[in-house]
């Protein structure tokens, strides 16, 4: 079959351009990426063989080979793994499936400094393409295990690639790089140097569990020596802890996470006894951009007795720890273990509990031993960890202990619940919080006025999940979590000189107006009452203690659930001149047509001031415009 030429998808072309005019300063890592792909391909083939899905395939000598041709200036990475079919090559190599790539390219263009660019590139597994950092032409020849025909893919990385079916192709994949000239100024080393290749493999890929062999160069007599295995192949998690360097751990992290950056934290755990396993877990330093999307792949791989069994094994950690990457190697499971079996396995459930506690206790340790790393952790993963407050009641206290929240006390520094409680005023009957879109929106909301005036600290909760967990959790150390926008608030009347008798007098004075307004606005509010939270604004709306907040109602609706719209409560500030005048007009006037409009307007203002929208914006505008005109 003749070769056919195709165009790269736009994103792929952009990415290649970046690789070619490399923004990434450490070019050696191309080899790590190719070896990593080869290793995955070998894992997949062995697994297929274990499951009898590759009956006619020889799996006795699975390995990776690196072949250097000094004269032709090529370097080939070859594996006899699962290989790819013709269609797979077009799908996997010709396009970039990752939806975040467009966003990434945008960010990359905006990032001028090289260090920032390195970090950004690392977010997106651009593995195979990294070959174009060091090569001006790349050829990939592959044959899928069990198929007879192979595929050759070639590209100079400049917009097009050619594809061709080939009859003679060994099973597995070989990637041949036609190397650019070495150029020390651009950190482009001489990758035809066996010494250099050995060094790179040792540094980045030592732990790969398959042999990585360097094919010896043919001598003058055409005789070639024994292939040398470059890596120790020792699984890091099986080696004694003090023998493994941080760098080695980090390389394993990069291999399994496809993140090119260092992890934030490495966690090792070993269980002996009836159910033996080793776990090596990593907390990344950055949240992946798709952490909250549906198809997000969890990171923990399952091995059984050193044999890779599956990627993103959901049974090993709860969903709220889905950002954790790593490896769990269980000694006492069958190699044929399936997801169904895992779901029911008592040992797996125990392991999951233990791993969960270990991750949480590691975070707890960070709080005291490395506050800066803790801050990074919470910034990146706090929003997802808080999901656990709703879904994992067993670890609720452990999660609350590592949680921190923005607070009115300090614009920069978040607080823990423990510290909040320490600072609570005598007689304060709960931990006050407010949920909202942003710090600014919350701070400007009328509900905060009395709290500000009296210096009562309020936690500012701005993640979507905050709407949910506060209700689920309810209290912390016997102190109720109380929304400043819900229920009755009593911040202690004496301080502002208003005692019980004064309040009584006020409620008598306003009783008529409140009753009349409640009736008149009955369609929209369930009650109109006097407020103890306002100092500046005339009115605000609040929810009953057990009602859903408007944001939560909207969330449920967005998820397609029917929820009745709950009526809210309108609160008036009895100290506000507008409210006082309204009350006087109410008691003095016979004709209340004007006043009904004022009542409506007051309600609309209260809704607006918390960032909501009046029920009938057009009517609201007309009423206001009429009144403005009259004052001119």
Nearer to ligand ADP, 35 or 485 (CB): 35
Min CB(183)–ligand ADP separation in Å: 24
Size of the site for ligand ADP (CB under 6 A): 16
x/- binding map, residues 129-148, to ligand ADP, per CB under 6 A?
A: x-------------------
Which positions from 203 through 242 interact with ligand ADP, judged by CB under 6 A? none
Min CB(285)–ligand ADP separation in Å: 19
Which tokens hold the place of 376?
């990074």
Closest residue to ligand ADP in the complex (CB): 127
Which positions from 18 through 47 interact with ligand ADP, judged by CB under 6 A? 37-38, 41
Min CB(163)–ligand ADP separation in Å: 14
C-alpha 313/C-alpha 318 separation (Å) is 10
Cα 311-312-318 angle, rounded to 5 deg: 150
C-alpha 386/C-alpha 250 separation (Å) is 27
Which tokens hold the place of 309?
């069994």
x/- binding map, residues 603-632, to ligand ADP, per CB under 6 A?
A: ------------------------------
Min CB(252)–ligand ADP separation in Å: 15
Residue 533 as a binder of ligand ADP (CB under 6 A): the answer is no
Query: Do residues 604 and 614 lie in contact, with contact meaning Cβ atoms separated by under 8 Å?
Result: yes
Residue 125 as a binder of ligand ADP (CB under 6 A): the answer is yes
Which tokens hold the place of 562?
């029917």
| Beta strands across the sheet bearing 325-330 | 265-271, 277-283, 325-330, 299-304, 307-310
3-state helix/strand/coil string of 505-573:
HHHHHHHHHHHHHHHHCCCCEEEEEECCCCCCCCEEEEECCCCCCHHHHHHHHHCCCCCCCCCEEEEEC
Stretch binding ligand ADP (CB under 6 A), from 55-63, 76-84, 275-283, 550-558? 76-84
Residue 79 as a binder of ligand ADP (CB under 6 A): the answer is yes
Nearer to ligand ADP, 92 or 390 (CB): 92
Query: Do residues 110 and 135 lie in contact, with contact meaning Cβ atoms separated by under 8 Å?
Result: no
Residue 157 as a binder of ligand ADP (CB under 6 A): the answer is no
Min CB(124)–ligand ADP separation in Å: 8
Stretch binding ligand ADP (CB under 6 A), from 122-130, 513-521, 537-545, 553-561? 122-130
Which tokens hold the place of 175?
């990637």
Min CB(161)–ligand ADP separation in Å: 13
Stretch binding ligand ADP (CB under 6 A), from 13-21, 121-129, 188-196, 509-517? 121-129
C-alpha 28/C-alpha 260 separation (Å) is 12
Stretch binding ligand ADP (CB under 6 A), from 123-131, 217-225, 465-473, 592-600? 123-131
460-497 exposure pattern, b = at least 16 Cβ within 10 A, e = fewer? bbbeebbbbbbeebeebeeeebbbbbbbebebeeeeee
Stretch binding ligand ADP (CB under 6 A), from 50-58, 77-85, 188-196, 467-475? 77-85
Residue 553 as a binder of ligand ADP (CB under 6 A): the answer is no
C-alpha 600/C-alpha 627 separation (Å) is 13
Q: Is 394 helix (H, G, I), strand (E, B) or coil?
A: helix
Query: Do residues 600 and 534 lie in contact, with contact meaning Cβ atoms separated by under 8 Å?
Result: no
Among 24, 28, 80, 81, binds ligand ADP (CB under 6 A): 81
Residue 201 as a binder of ligand ADP (CB under 6 A): the answer is no
Min CB(210)–ligand ADP separation in Å: 12
Nearer to ligand ADP, 173 or 531 (CB): 173
Nearer to ligand ADP, 284 or 382 (CB): 284
DSSP state letters, 182-231: PBGGGTB--TT-HHHHHHHHHHHHTT-SS-EEEEPPP-TTS---PPEE--
Query: Do residues 604 and 574 lie in contact, with contact meaning Cβ atoms separated by under 8 Å?
Result: no
Task: List residues bridging with 269 in a β-sheet.
Answer: 279
Residue 84 as a binder of ligand ADP (CB under 6 A): the answer is yes
Pairing of strands 479-483, 431-435: parallel
Min CB(64)–ligand ADP separation in Å: 9
Query: Do residues 597 and 619 lie in contact, with contact meaning Cβ atoms separated by under 8 Å?
Result: no
Stretch binding ligand ADP (CB under 6 A), from 8-16, 75-83, 311-319, 518-526? 75-83
Q: Is 435 helix (H, G, I), strand (E, B) or coil?
A: strand
Min CB(42)–ligand ADP separation in Å: 9
Residue 258 as a binder of ligand ADP (CB under 6 A): the answer is yes
Min CB(605)–ligand ADP separation in Å: 54
Min CB(366)–ligand ADP separation in Å: 29
Residue 299 as a binder of ligand ADP (CB under 6 A): the answer is no
* Closest of 351, 349, 344 to residue 326, by C-alpha: 351
Which positions from 86 through 105 interact with ligand ADP, judged by CB under 6 A? 92-93
Min CB(381)–ligand ADP separation in Å: 22
* Closest of 534, 434, 539, 414 to residue 486, by C-alpha: 434
Min CB(205)–ligand ADP separation in Å: 14
Which positions from 555 through 594 interact with ligand ADP, judged by CB under 6 A? none
Nearer to ligand ADP, 38 or 208 (CB): 38
Q: What are phi and psi of 19, to 5 degrees?
A: -70, -45
Residues that bind ligand ADP (CB under 6 A): 37-38, 41, 79, 81-84, 92-93, 125, 127-129, 173, 258
């Amino acid at each position: 079959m003749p070769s056919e030429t195709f165009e790269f998808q736009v994103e792929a072309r952009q990415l290649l351009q970046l690789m070619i005019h490399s923004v990434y300063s450490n070019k050696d890592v191309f080899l790590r990426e190719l070896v990593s792909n080869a290793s995955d391909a070998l894992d997949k083939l062995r697994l297929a063989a274990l499951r009898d899905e590759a009956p006619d395939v020889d799996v006795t000598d699975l390995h990776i080979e690196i072949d250097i041709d000094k004269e032709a200036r090529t370097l080939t990475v070859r594996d006899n793994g699962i290989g790819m079919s013709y269609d797979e090559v077009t799908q996997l190599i010709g396009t970039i499936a990752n939806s975040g790539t467009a966003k990434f390219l945008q960010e990359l263009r905006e990032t001028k400094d090289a260090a920032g660019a390195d970090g950004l590139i690392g977010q997106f597994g651009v593995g195979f393409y990294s070959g174009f950092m060091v090569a001006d032409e790349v050829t990939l020849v592959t044959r899928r295990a069990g198929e007879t025909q192979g595929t050759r893919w070639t590209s100079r990385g400049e917009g097009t690639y050619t594809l061709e079916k080939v009859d003679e192709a060994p099973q597995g994949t070989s990637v041949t790089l036609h190397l650019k000239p070495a150029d020390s100024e651009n950190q482009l080393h001489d990758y035809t140097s066996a010494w250099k290749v050995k060094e790179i493999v040792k540094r980045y890929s030592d732990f790969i569990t398959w042999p990585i062999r360097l094919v010896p160069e043919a001598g003058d007599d055409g005789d070639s020596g024994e292939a040398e295995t470059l890596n120790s192949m020792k699984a890091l998690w099986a080696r004694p802890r003090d023998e493994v360097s941080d760098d080695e751990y980090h390389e394993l992290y990069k291999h399994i996470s496809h993140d090119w950056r260092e992890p934030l934290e490495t966690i090792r755990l070993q269980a002996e006894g009836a159910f033996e396993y080793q776990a090596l877990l990593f907390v990344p330093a950055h949240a992946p951009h798709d952490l909250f999307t549906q198809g997000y792949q969890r990171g923990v791989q399952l091995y059984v007795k050193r044999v890779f069994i599956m990627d993103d094994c959901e049974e090993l950690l709860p969903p709220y720890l889905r950002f954790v990457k790593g490896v769990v190697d269980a000694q006492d499971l069958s190699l044929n273990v399936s997801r169904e079996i895992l779901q029911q396995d008592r040992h797996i459930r125990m392991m999951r509990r233990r791993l969960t506690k270990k991750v949480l206790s590691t975070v707890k340790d960070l709080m005291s031993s490395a506050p800066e790393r803790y801050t990074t952790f919470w910034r990146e993963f706090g929003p997802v960890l808080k999901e656990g407050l709703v879904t994992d009641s067993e670890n609720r206290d452990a999660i609350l202990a590592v949680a921190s929240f923005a607070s009115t006390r300090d614009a920069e520094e978040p607080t823990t619940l423990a510290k909040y409680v320490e600072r609570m005023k005598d007689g304060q009957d709960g931990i006050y919080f407010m949920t909202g879109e942003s710090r600014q929106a919350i701070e400007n909301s009328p509900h905060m006025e009395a709290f500000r005036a009296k210096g009562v600290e309020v936690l500012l909760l701005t993640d979507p999940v905050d709407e949910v967990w506060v209700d689920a959790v309810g209290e912390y150390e016997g102190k109720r979590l109380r929304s400043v926008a819900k229920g009755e608030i009593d911040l202690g009347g004496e301080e502002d000189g208003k005692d019980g008798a004064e309040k009584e007098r006020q409620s008598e004075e306003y009783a008529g107006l409140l009753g009349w307004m409640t009736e008149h606005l009955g369609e929209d509010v369930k009650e109109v009452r006097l407020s103890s939270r306002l100092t500046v604004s005339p009115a605000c709306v609040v929810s009953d203690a057990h009602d859903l907040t408007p944001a939560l109602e909207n969330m449920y609706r967005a998820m397609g659930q029917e929820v009745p719209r709950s009526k809210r409560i309108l609160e008036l500030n009895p100290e506000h001149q507008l409210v006082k005048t309204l009350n006087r007009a109410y008691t003095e006037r016979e004709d209340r047509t004007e006043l009904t409009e004022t009542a409506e307007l007051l309600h609309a203002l209260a809704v607006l001031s918390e960032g909501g929208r009046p029920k009938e914006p057009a009517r609201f505008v007309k009423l206001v415009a009429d009144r403005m005109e009259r004052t001119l």
